[in-house]
Structure formats: structure tokens, C-alpha cells
Amino acid sequence: MTVIIPKKAYLTIVAASVRFANPKIPFDDWLEIYGIFTGKSSKNGKDLIITKAYNITHQVKREEDIIDKVYWSDEDYISFSIIDDDAFSKGEYTVGWYHSHPGHRVMMTSLDIRTTATYQQYNPLAISLVFNPQRLIRQIEIAERKGYPELRLENDPGFKIFRLDNPENADSNYHEVFDYKIDGFESEEQLVEYSQKFAKDITNLFPNDNVVESYNNYVNDKLTKLNSLFMGTEDYLKSLARKGEKSRIPEVLENQKKEINQFVAETFMKIENMKEFLDYLEYKERDVIIPKVKDVLSNWDEKISNLEENLKELSKKF
């Protein structure tokens, strides 16, 4: 059995996992994430073709819990239903689930086994994928026991895929699925390098809460700095004119234009990342957050749409 995973589905898992477990968050506050795959079997019925991954929810820690648990909300069950219906309309179905073990070994717990059993009973080809962002970022497998050495890895995507030997048995043994392929990358080296950079961008630009407020603050800060660059340039050119150094104005103006364009280009890349990251929200977040974020980001788009005109107006003054 070969499992085919598209690039977008893989990045969906990375994004959600890193969003709730990264260096900006204290280790004790790292949270597991949970999602589901949709897809179909190959024509020969032996291989599994994943088409999409959907982030559903994240761990909620409660003092009374002895082990980590997942609590599904009514919104999550509605999400499952909508996703199932959409997949079925395309001749596809739910083909398994994924979750993260941030900072811990990639393995299956007894709870994971029971959850996986429900998926394999529904679909014999279903899988369970367990991801640890530290496995991807640091290229290590966490030690099996305290005091044991960490295992160094090479070009590891950060996850393992598992299936149960007997899904009818809640205490079933499980085995690892070694035969899988992540589409969209030319090599394992490229996959890891790209994904590690992607994880850094997620850490810096995809907060685990207050997404709209964070993006609004970011855009307002960049708009303020852009206005400051324009005002600073104009004030400097005026001072040159007052000092009788008009001959320097063309050179200074050209240099300032380059600085402004570089600032805009760098900010543009971050804004585009933010737009992309909206695809990695939990399913229940989308309807509320996406329209608000698009309104926020449109303020930047509107400002830079007049950039060339504003630069020309500045030049005309001198």
C-alpha cells in the first residue's frame, strides 16, 4: 500500500502543528492538533490517494485529565459533516486522520489506537498520521526514555503513518506504513529545507489566537512605516533645497525610491504569506476570520496600488 500525499495537504499539517507548538510558546503550553484526510483509493484499490487535509481542532488542557485528550465541539461535528458531504459529492470520502505529538515521540497511544479503529472500520484503507514539528525542524527523534540519547534523522518530513493490524480489536497492535510519497517536491532534501522555512514563517506570522487583531496590528505598523518613509524623504529633500544642494536631489530621491520599493516588496511577501495561511485555519474558524482578515489586508493592497503614482508626485515636487 502506497499513500500519496499532496504538498498542500502536508503543509496543512505542518502549519497547524507549528501554530500551536513553536518557540514563541512556552513548552508546557504546546498543544496537539487534530485533522482529517479526504481522498480515494487508486484504481487497483491497493493504494490511498489523499486529496485534502482539513484542520479541525486543537487540544484543550483540563486539570482533571491524566492523559492528553481531544474534546470535539458541536462545531467540529458540523465540520465533519460538511467535509464528508463535500468529499462524497466528488466521489471521495474520509480516508483517515492526523494529529501532532509536539515535543514527544511519534507513536500511537491507546487513545490514538481507538480513534484509528473507527476510521479503519469505516474505510479499510484509512490511515493515522502522527506529526512532531520538532522532528521536522531539528531532525531528531525524541528519546524513548529520559536519559536515553536522541536519534539523529536525515531528511525526515516529521511524521510517521500507522495502521492497525486488526481494527475490530480496540487493543490492536499497529504497524508503520513506510511506503508513502509527498508530491510537489523534487527531492527529500528540498522538502525538508522548504518545510523548515515554512515552519519559521508560520511561527512568525500565524498566531494561535487573535489572528485578526495580530494581522491588523501588523498592517497598521507597516502602513505607519511606509508613510514615515515618504514623509522623511520629502523632509530631507526640502532640507537639501534650503541648503542650496539641489544638485544632490536626483541621486537622493533615487536612493529613497529604492528603499521604499524594497520595504514594500518585503512587506508584500509577508502579506502574501498571511493570505496563504488563511487556508490553514481550523475549519470552524474560516467563516469568521477569513472575511475580517481580508478586509484588514485590503488596506495594505489599496495603499500600494497607488505607490507608483505617489512616488511620481513626490518627484514632481523637486
Residue 148: pLDDT band (50, 70, 90) is: confident
- pLDDT value of residue 64: 67
Higher pLDDT, 71 or 43: 43
Q: Which of 124, 142, 145 is nearest to 133 (CA)?
A: 142
Q: Is the pLDDT of residue 138 over 90?
A: yes
Q: Is the pLDDT of residue 265 over 80?
A: yes
Q: Per-domain residue ranges for the chain?
A: 3-204, 211-316
- pLDDT value of residue 126: 96
Q: What CATH topology corresponds to 3-204?
A: Cytidine Deaminase; domain 2 (3.40.140)
pLDDT digits (tens, 9 = 90+) for 170-195: 789 999 999 999 999 999 999 999 99
d(CA 200, CA 22): 9
d(CA 310, CA 314): 6
- pLDDT value of residue 68: 65
Residue-averaged pLDDT of the chain: 93
pLDDT digits (tens, 9 = 90+) for 5-30: 999 999 999 999 999 999 999 999 99
Q: How many CA atoms lie within 13 A of 105 on its CB side?
A: 11
Residue pair 94/83 in contact by the 8 Å Cβ criterion: yes
Q: Which of 251, 120, 241 is nearest to 173 (CA)?
A: 120
Strands, E assignment, the chain = 3-5, 33-41, 48-58, 93-100, 127-131, 140-141, 151-152, 159-164, 174-176, 180-182
- pLDDT value of residue 317: 80
Q: Is 47 helix (H, G, I), strand (E, B) or coil?
A: coil
Q: Is the pLDDT of residue 248 over 80?
A: yes
pLDDT digits (tens, 9 = 90+) for 96-135: 999 999 988 999 999 999 999 999 999 999 999 999 999 9
Q: Is 176 helix (H, G, I), strand (E, B) or coil?
A: strand
Q: 3-state DSSP helix/strand/coil percent for the chain, to nearest 5? A: 55, 15, 30
pLDDT digits (tens, 9 = 90+) for 64-88: 665 666 778 999 999 999 999 999 9
- Residue 151 corresponds to which cell in the numbers above? 536519534
- Residue carrying C-alpha cell 485529565: 65
d(CA 136, CA 24): 17
d(CA 310, CA 262): 15
Q: Which of 276, 275, 278 is nearest to 286 (CA)?
A: 278
Q: Is the pLDDT of residue 222 over 70?
A: yes
d(CA 161, CA 47): 14
Q: Cβ contacts of residue 9 below 8 Å, gap of 6+?
A: 37, 50, 51, 52, 53
Q: What are phi and psi of 163, to 5 degrees?
A: -140, 150
Residue 165: pLDDT band (50, 70, 90) is: very high
Which whole-number Å values give the CA distances from 36 to 7, 13, 93, 99, in the listed order? 15, 10, 10, 9
